[in-house]
Structure 1
Amino acid sequence: MLPYVLRRLLIIIPTLVIISMLIFTIIKLPPGDYLTSYIAELQSQGETVDPKKIEFMRQEYGLDKPAWEQYFTWAGGMLHGDFGYSFEYDLPVTDIIGDRVVLTIMISLFTVLFTWIVAFPIAMYSATHQYSWGDYGLTLFGFLGLATPNFLLALVMLYLANVYFGSSIGGLMDPQYLNQAWSWDKIKSILEHLWIPVIVIGTSGTAGMIRRLRANLLDELHKPYVTTARAKGVPPLRRLVKYPLRVAMNFFIADIGSLLPSLISGAEIVAVVLSLPTTGPILISALQSQDMYLAGSFLMFLALLTIIGVLISDLLLAWLDPRIRLTGGAQR
């Protein structure tokens, strides 16, 4: 096990180098750069463009240098904790993400907990009561959750809250706490607003997990070892949890690789619809304006979380299911 973990850790270094090259190349692929987009925006507003100012900004941001030199400047800075300077916000990248990362992680963690708390008991009931009215009703709920886009559900809830309650459910806190230091009142305000995005974002994830966990459980419940446990008089709940549920959770553990980056990226479209101060809208804006250091730093962070998540899921799968081995070779 230890040699396997060490090999995986050593592979992370060249993997991140290749990913950083791909990210930088893809961001630079569209014609022009941030200043090109900035000039086009000024001209669309009927404002004049000072060529000397643009040239000064190009030199100041290092956009006059060759692409390879820009890449090494950015990549070398990340090794020292310097993720570059955002052109659009005129601030260091680390100053921009700040509270937004905390809020994004908070929303995502509560969403994950909501998904687990709702999905597991429903899937267990649906699998153990196959083809009952309860199973049909929960199956309908699952299909509706999968078929309804998150942003559409967010729009419906915004409309219903405005029409029937005369209030806005957008944002993640009361206006007076925006850009304010953290305090107990601010945390209470966030918790009061948190349930809307958690329900909206968690709906499709809950529905998908119910369907997958139900299908895996049904496959395990018809295997001989369950029949043997039933014949030996093992209590139903213990018989369900000890082995079938444990094996059926393999897909859930494997999803950790995508779970960690989702804690940061969040649901971008839902964040835009609900005006949530999370990292999603900033990432979209940075990609649109070719703010390469801001967008590149976000994507590199997501890549790192993905690699770490995949490693954690592989190790947990080997621990959870003895049939999975991380090393090759024949086993006697």
Structure 2
Amino acid sequence: MLFKYILRRILIMIPTLFVTSVLVFSIVVLPPGDYFDTLVSESLASGEKADLTRIEFLRKEYGFDKSPVERYVLWVSNLLRGDLGYSFEYQLPVNDLVGDRMVLTIIVSGFTILFTWIIAFPIGIYSATHQYSWGDYGLTFLGLLGLAIPHFLLALVIVYFANVWFGVSIGGLMDDRFLNQPMSWSKFWSIMQHLWIPVIVIGTGGTGKMIRAVRANLLDELQKQYYTTARAKGLPPGRALMKYPFRLSLNFFISDIGDVLPHVVSGAEITAIVLSLQTTGPLLLRALQSRDTFLASSFLMFLAFLTVVGVLISDIALSLLDPRIRLQGGQTK
């Protein structure tokens, strides 16, 4: 049954990704103008003379003189071969451009997710098991405060006080001497030393959100009859809590995998700009601003692919975690 379900879902993913690719291509490519028009306008605005001969050559070389349908077919066929295209803004193949930034983004997002889990789960469990206590009220307030403060605003405040009070700059993910250098133990250690600021800043909002979700779902499970019966039969409180209510309250957490996977790759874009992080978020925003067609469209398509894969993983994990959820629809007898 599981194999048939996965196969059916993969077959459904094909038309989903096709429709998504059409939408992505339409949003990025079809509006009037392109990267070369932007380049000419910026050159004229700065008083420089644009090399029109080279620009016209690049238009023909990368198919910008073709019809939208032909350009779409060319773009999709390259994607299927693993070729993400060429970035005109950075004058590099997209595959080479996003490689190092992808690794840094995964490191930042991975540690941020771990930070969120380590903080949110114990606090959420405590708030649910000590409902309406002073500890519950205090932790709830902190969670709401984390939700209310935008990431980029918290980053600006930390950067300001670090410069004013301590006279240090906390931007970036590594020392300047490691920029554009291959990964090494020295570079990795430098990343670890700079990592804690973006992890705390980006993880604050996610931690507050997860605390509220853990508390709400766990409270719902603690009020059900099976937990009352388990306690009445003498099952220790800790074991009764972790074996049944806590496990079932994780459904929201598993179902969120579809959102977590693309977030791991894209990162917090505005916060990354404020903190000067060398991640993929600022790269995507710059590509959209400059109409860097291949970089923007291929990156968005990759995020869409991670989303549908994440949803599939979450559905399968939910069926394994909760026996009440079945892979096949229909009524039970």
What's the TM-score bracket when you normalise by the shorter of the two chains? over 0.9
Q: Contact 2:230 / 2:240 at 8 angstroms: preserved in 1? A: yes
> What percent of counterpart residues are identical?
64
1:213 maps to: 214
TM-score under structure 2 length normalisation: 0.97
1:54 to partner: Cα distance = 2.9
1:50 to partner: Cα distance = 4.0
Instruction: Indicate the larger mover: 40-49 or 178-187.
Output: 40-49
TM-score under structure 1 length normalisation: 0.98
1:199 maps to: 200
Secondary structure of residue in 2 paired with 1:117: helix
1:295 maps to: 296
1:253 maps to: 254
Inter-partner Cα distance in structure 2 for 1:137 and 1:94: 47
1:31 maps to: 32
Unaligned runs of 5+ in 1: none
Q: Which residue identity does 1:132 align to in structure 2?
A: S
Q: Which residue identity does 2:38 align to in structure 1?
A: S
1:232 maps to: 233
1:70 maps to: 71
Q: Contact 2:162 / 2:169 at 8 angstroms: preserved in 1? A: yes
Unaligned runs of 5+ in 2: none
Q: How does 1:178-197 map to 2 (within 5 A)?
A: 178-197=179-198
Q: How does 1:132-143 map to 2 (within 5 A)?
A: 132-143=133-144
Q: Which residue identity does 2:52 align to in structure 1?
A: P
Inter-partner Cα distance in structure 1 for 2:83 and 2:272: 27
Secondary structure of residue in 1 paired with 2:327: coil
2:42 maps to: 41
Q: Deviations over 1:157-211 (max 9, x none)?
A: 1011111211111000011111111111110000000010000000000000000
Q: Deviations over 1:60-117 (max 9, x none)?
A: 3321111111111111111111111111111111011011000000101100000000
Secondary structure of residue in 2 paired with 1:325: coil
2:16 maps to: 15
Secondary structure of residue in 1 paired with 2:244: helix
**4+ aligned runs moved over 4 Å, structure 1:** none
1:286 to partner: Cα distance = 0.6
Q: How does 1:76-95 map to 2 (within 5 A)?
A: 76-95=77-96
1:25 to partner: Cα distance = 0.8
1:57 maps to: 58
1:51 to partner: Cα distance = 3.3
1:109 maps to: 110
1:14 to partner: Cα distance = 2.1
1:215 to partner: Cα distance = 0.8
Q: Contact 1:61 / 1:87 at 8 angstroms: preserved in 2? A: no
Inter-partner Cα distance in structure 1 for 2:110 and 2:66: 41
1:53 to partner: Cα distance = 3.3
Q: Contact 2:30 / 2:68 at 8 angstroms: preserved in 1? A: no
Secondary structure of residue in 2 paired with 1:208: helix
Q: Contact 2:109 / 2:267 at 8 angstroms: preserved in 1? A: yes
Inter-partner Cα distance in structure 2 for 1:135 and 1:80: 53
1:148 maps to: 149
Q: Give the number of aligned pairs.
A: 332
Secondary structure of residue in 2 paired with 1:131: coil
Q: Contact 1:155 / 1:273 at 8 angstroms: preserved in 2? A: yes
Inter-partner Cα distance in structure 2 for 1:223 and 1:311: 29
Q: Contact 1:85 / 1:93 at 8 angstroms: preserved in 2? A: yes
Q: Which residue identity does 1:188 align to in structure 2?
A: W
Q: Alignment RMSD, CA only? A: 1.1
Inter-partner Cα distance in structure 1 for 2:330 and 2:213: 31
Q: Contact 2:254 / 2:314 at 8 angstroms: preserved in 1? A: yes
Inter-partner Cα distance in structure 1 for 2:76 and 2:149: 40
Secondary structure of residue in 1 paired with 2:32: coil
Secondary structure of residue in 2 paired with 1:191: helix
